[in-house]
Amino acid sequence: MEDMLRGVKKLAKFSAILTTGVVGAIFLLPAGNAYAIDRVDCGRAGAVHISGHTVFGLITHSFEDCWVNHGTHSYAQPNDQDVYLEKVSTGDFSVSLHDCNSDQPTLNFGPSTVYTRPNNPMCLDHIDIN
């Protein structure tokens, strides 16, 4: 009986040490980056503002998107519909624009930048907001 009680005490002590180590590791590890890109109303101050158009056959449709927080948004379309960027306002964020054609360089812009391409829109694959 005494041996069994001693074994239970050792198990309880081991469990307490293990739990303390796991909890300590959780708090000591770096948190990393949180990515929570959100679409917002385009009247919101500081938001990234993207405007352009989509082309599917002979149909063209204009759009405006506004985003806040860090993350990535894909504009790639599964149905051969191309998305063309005409203007980006970076607001309070740094923005990277990735072209549909992988041979084109990524365009990087800092906060408070306005970039336009009204006569030669860029085929937009995705954006990264940092």
Same domain, 122 and 74: yes
- Which amino acid belongs to residue 43? G
What's the CATH code of the domain at 112?
Answer: 2.60.20.30
Task: Split the chain (130 residues) into runs of 10 and give each run's mean pLDDT.
Answer: 59 54 42 70 96 89 95 85 93 95 88 92 93
Question: What confidence score (pLDDT) does residue 23 get?
Answer: 42
Same domain, 5 and 24: yes
Same domain, 84 and 113: yes
Tell me how far the alpha carbon of residue 115 is from its chain's centroid: 20
Structural domains of the chain, count: 2
* Domain with 65 in it: 38-129
Q: Is 107 exposed, middle or buried (0-12, 13-18, 19+ CB in 10 A)?
A: middle
Same domain, 103 and 66: yes
pTM over 0.85: no
Same domain, 64 and 86: yes
